[in-house]
Structure 1
């Protein structure tokens, strides 16, 4: 198997029929979740919590990545960190990682299991350096790395992705449902809007659908399939 990694946003056909009550702001073949756009150097820090979802084993290899990142939505740059949830050879695989395109992902040598509470933060430092932080609050470990990154800082994302195997987008694993919450941008509330919301379409059908934002506009669910999940009731 060729290396697995993330990729910038890839648009998909909008010929499918998304929910009329909550039309998405964008449609992709590999991303679903929320993405916000600004000008160059708009975004200096992003953070969020999520709970690692449990994927269903399948005969066909299937993959999913939950992450936060800066750039990649409309540009080829991307700095990101998250967790992987895959079904390979009928067995489930979970691990944490970070990545700066165009380099391949780097696996983090720490344990991750379904149900673990994760916190991630990416912050710009002086001299084109960036801090990538990923913390497993359930298992009690924290990973940090400082890397050079020269992307535009023009978009920011909270995403469930079907990653790439070589140059091909993988089939999305059935991850059930995942909740991103307490999302922040530049140390402030993320202030998510319905127009920031995007669905994933593979082989002509909707395979991943985010909810509308919660009341505080800093969190949402993403659910496998085409059904629109309810917004989280919790304020955080």
Structure 2
């Protein structure tokens, strides 16, 4: 099968398609995923009955905060519980992460965990990425039920700190990187299906993943009137995002692999 890369898809109408080269495989059970800027599949629906802005993406589900007044996003954080995947004989893929940029820009600075199925077996791992650079996998143990805390912060002048902690397995990675052309135009907390250059791959059946303490710029992400993103392809919902609770907690529920 093709080498997968993660391809972030946004739900803002102004986005254009951005395709990147496939990422070489790393020394893991599966080829390395990669995240890239977003692509809209439908306009945002404002003033919905639940008061949220809604959009649809072919492989994102979660919340995206963007600015209409020039606000720069310099931090994003969240907690989540690593879900268990239910595997069949189909190879499937999923990841859960926080990040800056990517919704209306061509860079993405992000870190998170993944839950894939390879030859009927679950594969769990974690990573960070400063797209367009290749992703880097962490080789620490990741297991279903692990409690993750993640953050991406920047000084606004090109210096980034990406921090991922598995508080269940008692490990933390803090990565310092430089990216001078980051626009800092969005903040995201996302469940994702990866893609190849040919398009999105099947989404792993992860059941439900719960995100909490989701913040942007130190405030609950709900303070920025974020977009509630549903993952859907060809009219079929793959993953659905719940309303926000207390402005900073929500869940994403798997519906279909493809």
Aligned-partner Cα distance in 2 for 1:192–1:171: 33
Deviation, structure 1 residue 127: 4.5
Change (3 A) 1:72 1:142: same
Distance 1:142 1:187 in 2: 21
Please report how far the alpha carbon of residue 109 of structure 1 lies from its aligned counterpart in structure 2 after TM superposition.
1.8
Using the TM superposition, name which of 190-199 and 63-72 deviates more.
190-199
Structure 1 residues 83 and 204: alpha-carbon distance in aligned structure 2, compared to 1, 3 A threshold? same
From the superposition, tell whether residues 126 and 71 of structure 1 become closer, same or farther in structure 2 (CA, over 3 Å): closer
Q: Distance in 2 between matches of 1:13 and 1:43?
A: 24
For 1:192 and 1:221, the matched residues in 2 are separated by 18
Structure 1, unaligned runs of 5 or more:
15-19, 227-236
Range that drifts further, 202-211 or 128-137? 202-211
TM-score relative to the length of structure 1: 0.86
Query: Alpha carbons of 1:48 and 1:169: their partners in 2 closer, same or farther (altered >3 Å)?
Result: same
Partner of 1:234: none
CA contact (8 A) 1:5 1:165 kept: no
Residue 128 of structure 1 is matched in structure 2 by 158
Name which of 33, 38, 44 aligns with 2:62: 33
Q: What does residue range 50-129 of structure 1 map to in structure 2 within 5 Å?
A: 50-125=80-155, 127-129=157-159
Per-residue CA deviations over 1:141-174 (Å, capped at 9, x if unaligned) read 1101100123100111000001123453211111
Query: How far off is 1:9 after superposition?
Result: 2.0
Q: Which of residues 178, 188, 191 in structure 1 aligns to 2:219?
A: 188
Distance (Å, rounded) in 1 between the aligned partners of 2:231 and 2:213: 23
Contact 1:194 1:213 in 2 (8 A): no
Deviates more, 1:119-128 or 1:89-98: 119-128
Normalized against structure 2, the TM-score is what? 0.79
- Equivalent pairs, count: 220
| Aligned-partner Cα distance in 2 for 1:206–1:183 | 24
Q: Structure 1 residue 203: deviation in Å?
A: 3.7
Answer whether contact 2:65 2:225 (CA < 8 A) is retained. Answer: no
- Give, in angstroms, the shift of residue 195 of structure 1: 5.5
Alignment root-mean-square deviation, CA? 2.1
How far 1:88 moved relative to its partner? 1.1
Q: Deviation at 1:80? A: 0.4
CA distance in structure 1 between the aligned counterparts of 2:90 and 2:223, rounded to whole angstroms: 35
Partner SS state of residue 106, structure 2:
coil
| Shift of residue 186, structure 1, vs aligned partner | 1.4
Residues 195 and 186 (structure 1), Cα distance of their counterparts in 2 relative to 1, 3 Å cut? closer
Asked if 1:9 corresponds to 2:38, the answer is: yes
